[in-house]
Structure 1
Amino acid sequence: MNETVLEKVDSKPMLKTLKQPEFRWPVVGDGLGGEYQWSSRQWSLLKTLADMRNLHSKSVLIRLNVSPDDKNSSHYIIKLDQVPLSLASREDYITNTTAAQTYRAALLSLMVDIAVMLGAPEKEALTQMEKALAFETQLAHILIPYENRTSESMYNRFTISRLQRFIPQFDWLGFIKRVVESKDDPARSISSSEPVIVRVPQYFKELFKLINSTDPRTVANYIQWRSVFSRITSLSRRFLYRYLDFARVTTGTTSLTPRWDKCVNYVENSLAYATGRLFVDAHFQEDKKLMMEELIEGVRWAFIDMLEKENDWMDQPTKKKAIEKAHAVLAKVGYPEFILNDTYLNDDLKQLQFSEKDYYGNVMQTLKFIAQSDISWLRKKVPRTEWFTNPTTVNAFYSSSTNQIRFPAGELQKPFFWGKEYPRSLSYGAIGVIVGHEITHGFDSNGRKYDRNGNLDQWWSNSSTAAFSEKAHCMIDQYNGYHWEVAGLSVRTCKHVST
């Protein structure tokens, strides 16, 4: 990254994007005019949302992704979902606590200032961004709350033609074709009979009622704000410092992340397999993998033994299936094997051409690359024995759709994993706890809804479910009693427990 050039070009790279018809920001066009001028007659909601998803890897209003079908986990399917908002929590919009009001005020101030910094007239920026924030507040009210987003309620299988009849105000076929189809992959051709999973049908019903009752300029202002908001930190320092002022209020951040640190994190997250390969070559030995696999089998054996001998609330048919599922859990350790294939990695990245003089351009082409990473799987079989977690990740995971537990190389470092030079008891007490935690995710409130093959299926009996829920609520009642008097806060157990 050439920081001198980055400061010199300032907002020019983003303004170049805002010249494009689909990405024009109405309020900025009011100030700059000419090529930046927004016109309601020329503006297309469909093209804007689709191209933002395709070119910027940015979902606004509608999230489209490709992932395994919950009831047929060997196949990929298109899914449609709601999208998070500018602020971290839905409650920040729908409540009037002091904190929520402070966050909304900070957000409005940021929206206005960024628009002005890009060329919008100050008075118009305030008026139009107030309307955009009011629109987002209305969006917050129609979002489906987290606690209502259950696996069953979010599995709503439609054909595109049926979805069109259900919500006729939007050209769903045109939108999905524009996002998914590619001349390089004829197999991704989309017709009206294409199956899709609509995770939040009621949200989409209300969304298009809201859009149709709102001035298109306000909708366009909001959409472009969300796009610009996601890329503020790719601009010069004056934008970074303005964002820092906002983050101080909303997250407590007190300083900017150094550019080198930001670059490392960006490359690590965006080019996960290339950086993962470098990390594995330098910091992960094969004997660690073998030792971890042995440890996992030890914890698995203990879990199954507990199911067989200590579990007194689960009926026998359910217990039998639980034991079968525990045996079937596939453990993935260290890294996906394909990252050791130089040809695969080079071919995967050959479309990317970076320049140290064009940081913003590097970011944009990487976003375009990322945008296709899930879409490209449509029509392909789910590789059940493969996994796609960045090896540098310092975390562990359970995947319900593949019944996998995953422990990337980044997690298998001290103090979680101690290797052969220390007693194994240290590793069992550290990473062993995490292994047990991940295995139990296959049997918690969400994982228990998926069978040994990763398909959404009610394999627990009603009596076992009721017995589990009764015991879980004992824990909820216990933790609900914890109160921190100094802060005036109580534990909100239902936000954290997997019942």
Structure 2
Amino acid sequence: MNETALELLDAKPLLKELRKREFRWPVLGNVLGADVQWDEEKFDLLHTLAQIRTQHSKSVLVRLYVSPDDKNSQRYIIKLDQASLVLSREDYITNTTEAQANREALLRLMVDVPVMLGAPEEAAEQQMKPVVCLSLWPRKSRNMYNKYSLSKLQRTIPEFNWLSFVRASIDSKLYPDLSISSSEHTIVRVPQYMKDLFKLLNVTDSRTVANYVVWRSVLSRITTLSRRFLYRYLDFARVTTGTTSLTPRWDKCVNYIEGTLMYATGRLFVDKHFQEDKKHMMEELIEGIRWAFIDMLEKENDWMDAETKKKAIQKAHAVLAKVGYPEFILNDTYINEDIKRLSFSEKDYFGNVMQTLRFISQADIGWLRKNVPRTEWFTNPTTVNAFYSSSTNQIRFPAGELQKPFFWGLDYPRSLSYGAIGVIVGHELTHGFDNNGRKYDKDGNLDQWWSNASIASFNDKTQCMIDQYNTYHWKEAGLNVQ
């Protein structure tokens, strides 16, 4: 990264992006010229949302993605969900001093950023005040499985053209043979949210809607600009999250490359830092933890009925353990093919980020209608974390996690690794049987395989823990744990 060039460019790369018709921002007025002002008659919410997803890899209002079908875990399907907010709504809506400070910090950021891009402050304040309400949209409780054809979804929520939205979210140059029709099936995570959302949008001034939608995209881009934008965002984060300093540029770059080019960077990491004996030892350790888990399930579990316990044991045996890295990253041809569309420049940090966003925004689309490769996995090998996947009934331990102090290797007593990484293995294994994982069977399909009696017993046992922790009092805050 050429930081001098980045400072000289300042906001120019973002302003260039905002000249595009789909990203024009009402609050900027004629900052970019009279010929590129936002035009209410030409504003197309559907197209803007789709282009923000495909060009910026950002979901605003509606999240569209491709992942395994919950009731047919062998096939990929389109899913629609509520998009995330800037922060949790609960951080803003209460009447506490903290919530009031968060609301004020959010509004000031929403005003200051367009002003920093050239907008008049009075106009920015006037236009962005009503946008705050859209920023605090409540999250709805999820119904796990609501399958619709696009035609049925259109009849259910007619205020939005769902078929056009899905089509517009797919890069036809990348996937010329991927044809989407009204019979395409989707899973809608929160139908009530979608219904309420488009009813609200239909009675909301389109300028406010456009200001909100583009604002969310701009917000995700300001940390790729010059330092004056970084420090302005830091002021906001200092209030809302307690952050007190900027992340060094080199740290941001490394993390960004790890997150976007994860197989290429994972290959470099594995070649240099991962030994095969770690993989074999870890696989042996996992089998030891699995045996102990099943032994406890058989001998110590006194609240599950016999049939549920039998299925639990079957699921525990079926959990697929993945260690280190997916084998395909050792294939040079695969890695090169994966990233051949990318070309980076030291002088164009913003451009580098934008092309990787376009790259990753379409990565999941290519899996649509394909079979889920249950024995494969797609976690970044450099990740220092572990995971459980309910749809594939996998536990995953990337190479980055298999380092000290979690994993000690053959030169140390096995007890050290059992006490460190073993705890994590047990933790991930139990995710297959917690209040979410228990909803999926041994094959990763959404299925109530617990009896109602076992569910009631489980809830009774957990209530005991809830009651215990609710009694813990934090004197300085004057609050109990919830």
Tell me the TM-score normalised to structure 1 length. Answer: 0.95
Report the CA distance between 1:154 and its aligned residue. Answer: 2.5
Aligned pair 1:24/2:14, yes or no? Answer: no
Q: CA–CA distance in 2 between the matches of 1:446 and 1:121? A: 49
Could you give the per-residue CA deviations for residues 15-62 of structure 1, whole angstroms, max 9, x where no partner exists? 000000000011113444324300011110011000110111011000
> What corresponds to 1:84 in structure 2?
84
> What corresponds to 1:495 in structure 2?
none
Report the CA distance between 1:472 and its aligned residue. Answer: 1.1
Instruction: Please tell me whether the aligned partners of residues 181 and 189 of structure 1 are also in contact (alpha carbons under 8 angstroms).
Output: no
Partner secondary structure for residue 188 of structure 1: coil
Q: How does 1:198-347 map to 2 (within 5 A)?
A: 198-347=188-337
Report the CA distance between 1:186 and its aligned residue. Answer: 4.3
Aligned pair 1:480/2:476, yes or no? Answer: no
Among 439, 446, 449, the residue aligned to 1:459: 449
Could you give the per-residue CA deviations for residues 379-429 of structure 1, whole angstroms, max 9, x where no partner exists? 211000000100111111100000000000111111110001110000001
Report the CA distance between 1:184 and its aligned residue. Answer: 4.1
Report the CA distance between 1:187 and its aligned residue. Answer: 4.3
Instruction: Please tell me whether the aligned partners of residues 31 and 121 of structure 1 are also in contact (alpha carbons under 8 angstroms).
Output: no
> What corresponds to 2:73 in structure 1?
73
Instruction: Please tell me whether the aligned partners of residues 277 and 340 of structure 1 are also in contact (alpha carbons under 8 angstroms).
Output: yes
Could you give the per-residue CA deviations for residues 306-349 of structure 1, whole angstroms, max 9, x where no partner exists? 11111111111111110000000000001111111111001100
Q: CA–CA distance in 2 between the matches of 1:253 and 1:106? A: 14
Among 151, 163, 171, the residue aligned to 1:161: 151
Q: How does 1:364-379 map to 2 (within 5 A)?
A: 364-379=354-369
- Structure 2: any 5+ residue segments left out of the alignment? none
Q: How does 1:147-158 map to 2 (within 5 A)?
A: 148-149=141-142, 153-158=143-148
Q: CA–CA distance in 2 between the matches of 1:411 and 1:135? A: 39
Q: CA–CA distance in 2 between the matches of 1:36 and 1:11? A: 17
Q: CA–CA distance in 1 between the matches of 2:6 and 2:35? A: 23
Q: CA–CA distance in 1 between the matches of 2:65 and 2:398? A: 24
Report the CA distance between 1:483 and its aligned residue. Answer: 1.0
Which aligned segments of 4 or more residues in structure 1 are displaced greater than 6 angstroms? Answer: none
> What corresponds to 1:98 in structure 2?
97
Could you give the per-residue CA deviations for residues 413-458 of structure 1, whole angstroms, max 9, x where no partner exists? 1111000111000000111011011111100000001000000000
Report the CA distance between 1:480 and its aligned residue. Answer: 1.0
Report the CA distance between 1:183 and its aligned residue. Answer: 4.2
> What corresponds to 2:353 in structure 1?
363
The aligned length equals 482
Report the CA distance between 1:474 and its aligned residue. Answer: 0.7
Report the CA distance between 1:181 and its aligned residue. Answer: 5.7
Q: CA–CA distance in 1 between the matches of 2:196 and 2:407? A: 49
Identify if the C-alpha distance between structure 1 residues 168 and 203 changes in structure 2 by more than 3 Å, giving closer, same or farther.
same
Identity %: 73
Instruction: Please tell me whether the aligned partners of residues 267 and 330 of structure 2 are also in contact (alpha carbons under 8 angstroms).
Output: yes
Instruction: Please tell me whether the aligned partners of residues 148 and 187 of structure 2 are also in contact (alpha carbons under 8 angstroms).
Output: yes
Partner secondary structure for residue 292 of structure 2: helix
> What corresponds to 2:41 in structure 1?
41
Tell me the TM-score normalised to structure 2 length. Answer: 0.98
Amino acid in structure 1 at the alignment position of 2:481? V
Could you give the per-residue CA deviations for residues 49-87 of structure 1, whole angstroms, max 9, x where no partner exists? 00110111011000000000000000000000001112x
Partner secondary structure for residue 42 of structure 2: coil
- Structure 1: any 5+ residue segments left out of the alignment? 493-499
Amino acid in structure 2 at the alignment position of 1:9? L
> What corresponds to 1:425 in structure 2?
415
Q: CA–CA distance in 2 between the matches of 1:387 and 1:54? A: 24
Instruction: Please tell me whether the aligned partners of residues 25 and 36 of structure 1 are also in contact (alpha carbons under 8 angstroms).
Output: no
Q: CA–CA distance in 2 between the matches of 1:380 and 1:35? A: 45
Report the CA distance between 1:95 and its aligned residue. Answer: 1.7
Report the CA distance between 1:136 and its aligned residue. Answer: 2.2
Q: CA–CA distance in 2 between the matches of 1:491 and 1:180? A: 45
Partner secondary structure for residue 406 of structure 1: strand
> What corresponds to 1:496 in structure 2?
none
Provide the alpha-carbon RMSD of the alignment. Answer: 1.1
